[in-house]
Amino acid sequence: MKNLKLTKTLLIVAIVILATVAFAAEEGAATGASFAAIGKGLAIGLGLLGTGMAQSAIGAAAVGAVAEDRRNFGTALIFFLIPETLAIFGLAFSFLIN
Residue by residue, DSSP assigns 9-25 as HHHHHHHHHHHHHHHHP
Given this model, what pLDDT does residue 18 score?
A: 82
Given this model, what pLDDT does residue 27 score?
A: 67
Residue 37 has pLDDT above 90, yes or no: no
Whole-number Å distance between alpha carbons of 37 and 34: 5
- The second-level CATH assignment, the architecture, of 2-96 is Up-down Bundle (1.20)
pTM: 0.61
**pLDDT tens readout for residues 67-95:** 999 999 999 999 999 999 888 988 888 88
- Helix, strand, coil distribution of the chain in percent, nearest 5: 90, 0, 10
Residue 61 has pLDDT above 90, yes or no: yes
Counting DSSP H helices and E strands in the chain, the numbers are 4, 0
Asked if 44 and 97 count as a contact pair (C-beta separation under 8 A), the reply is no
Domain residue ranges of the chain, discontinuous segments joined by +? 2-96
